[in-house]
Structure 1
């Protein structure tokens, strides 16, 4: 079958990992042969896979958060090019959207990465279990083994059962307790998937996005009911081993969603507001008294710049240490002085928070500092002539007059040469003009002769 040939490399890779995990469990004391070690190895394999793709999931969440922050700017670009269908406008719009994604560090394809990684693994596991029976019976059409799973191991897998159902058995082949286990696992996945999506919509979506007139919201609601139903269909076609894999994976997704809502909630969502209020209370609990004492010391120092710099230097080390424990981003621009950094931490202690002080917030700090530096440079250029002494201004003006005079003289010389050339041409007889034309033509046809004349 062509599908087997395409997915076979993934099947072999998953088979190797699965068998190695099984061997490790046996080495740790579980019984070898048919039995619980093969079932637990599927559970461990699921946990390992989901743990390995957690960084991709975090990247997906960060990209989604940045996308929500950049939505106003994205809408402005879309409105700017609304109704413009010519190629130049579409290209310009695409360039501006790419620049916006780069500015906020977003990747439109980041949300697909966890799914793209899991699909080959799921298909590989599915085909490994599907073909285990054929390998055990010696009828597998792609050889006598699947990676390390030879006939002996395949027979062990076939004899391993859950409530009387083989790991490669399906719901349509099950009866009694085995059928009940299939149904329980299907209900477990349906309920968890529904709760995951419902809680995500109600707690981790911005208020404006929850409007029923929002097309995205309508799509999410439809998916909230369709996705769990897909698990019902899945239960009829996959094996018991895959049901175990999907059940553990669904439980991991639910737990991961709960954790991430407290660590990286979507800006503007109810979960975000709760986390924002909690983090703000925790930060201000120590920061308010600290900066009240800092302000008192700062006032006592008066206008002594060295003493103020020393105070900022010693205070900043302690502030950064405490702020880091509150998960406040600390990678400030290098161009910011210690006093400016202390000022940012001080503002967090005294002002009401509107956003979490995380990586997205820090990117805003970097952009604000870059704009400030540009403004300062422009102001310095404007102020430079005013700060020059009278003698410096006289010297600059004299230099400008000298350059203008030199330019005027050069222009006069060019005009004089042009006029002399024109007069000389007008005084030539027609015969002389024809002779010179013939001479130039001859030189073009004989470049070697012209070079000899130049050397002479």
Structure 2
């Protein structure tokens, strides 16, 4: 039995429902109607996994913030292959993840959940649709609807079942459409990954293995699209492009609303807040404490360099220093938030009566 059959059936059903809705004001046999049905399918799927996407952004941010501590643990157990050391290393690593609220698996959840849907859509367009168009219906995809989807054209003779390698009647036009969609997918993915790793991370988190992995993803993902895209039906490429655009917009909103402390995105948010206050005639807020929190790790850098001159500190002591520095940064961040909250409170009004009362109190004290 095909394990993707329930997902294939659900994908076909959602496409048919959107096609029925769009057919009210569009040509039911047009390729545009079926292409927009795939866009509607993408919107439904991405709406359902919004909580997972927000969790992915936070997990990725937390993973990069704890990168220095993870490096200290790895150096502590470097070269130790006995079971006790491996178990202790795993326990300390999980303790760091738990303390920071990070999870190495949360960042993969949206992709893992979409992969079965992606493959199911590929099978529906590549296998089920031609079979249904030939007379073998598939669930909600009747032979009539399948024939309409299989033969419906847009931009000339391009159909959602054609691909770059199998261009069909569209010929060169199909190859151009497929190539343009793949190029847009690469561009949107590159910009999305760059915004996440560069603009929304402090300078201290842009070093280490995690940062190197994120930078590699900038070029690996577009390369994967270039390799696999030509063999995909245009309907699958439309789904892929739509979900990439959705990811970019959703990530932009999340980063704009809740940027990582110390990142360029946070500085831009602070500038926007003060610009709004200036329009209202209010004094700008002082975000200096937040900037100090970001600069603290740079000031503490000589302390970490000292062991190179004097090799008296053990790996466990280095780990303790890293945790202490992180706890200090968290405490300063809380103090900064309290200071900002105090600055945002309206100043008490000073009326002439209040001044007079203060003067009378001073006079009474002098009289005494």
TM-score between the two structures when normalised by the length of structure 2: 0.68
Alpha carbons of structure 1 residues 8 and 93: separation in structure 2 relative to 1, 3 Å:
same
Aligned match of 1:130 in 126, 132, 155? 126
Structure 1 segment 191-340 matched on structure 2, within 5 A: 191-210=187-206, 214-276=208-270, 278-279=272-273
Q: 1 or 2 for the larger relative contact order (CA 8 Å, sep ≥6)?
A: 2
Does the aligned pair in 2 maintain the 1:65–1:267 contact within 8 Å?
no
Shift of the 258–150 alpha-carbon distance from structure 1 to 2, 3 Å rule, reads same
User: 2:6 is matched with which residue: 3, 6, 9?
Assistant: 9
- Aligned position for 2:349: none
What is the alpha-carbon distance in structure 2 between the residues aligned to residue 169 and residue 16 of structure 1? 21
> 1:83 deviation in Å?
4.1
Rate the CA distance shift 1:278–1:101 in 2: closer, same or farther, 3 A: same
Which residue pairs with 2:32 in the alignment?
A: 36
Q: CA deviation at 1:169?
A: 1.3
Aligned-CA RMSD value: 3.5
CA distance in structure 1 between the partners assigned to 2:30 and 2:277 by the alignment: 55
Do the aligned partners of 1:136 and 1:152 also contact (CA within 8 Å) in 2? yes
Q: Which runs of 5+ in 1 are unaligned?
A: 139-143, 290-347, 370-456
Q: 2:158 is matched with which residue? A: 165
Structure 1 37/221 Cα, relative in aligned 2: closer, same or farther at 3 Å?
Answer: same
1:120 deviates by: 0.8
User: Retained in 2: the 8 A contact 1:136–1:154?
Assistant: yes
Please name the residue that 2:137 is paired with: 145
Cross-structure match for 2:289: 352
Taking structure 1 as the reference length, the TM-score comes to: 0.56
Is the 2:52–2:110 Cα contact (8 Å) retained in structure 1? yes
Equivalent-residue separation in structure 2 for 1:207 and 1:31 (angstroms): 53
Change (3 A) 1:252 1:39: same
Whole-angstrom CA distance in 2 between matches of 1:201 and 1:107: 17
Counterpart residue number, 1:433: none
Partner Cα distance (1:74, 1:231) in 2: 32
Distance (Å, rounded) in 1 between the aligned partners of 2:162 and 2:75 = 55
Aligned to 2:19: 22
CA contact (8 A) 1:284 1:349 kept: no
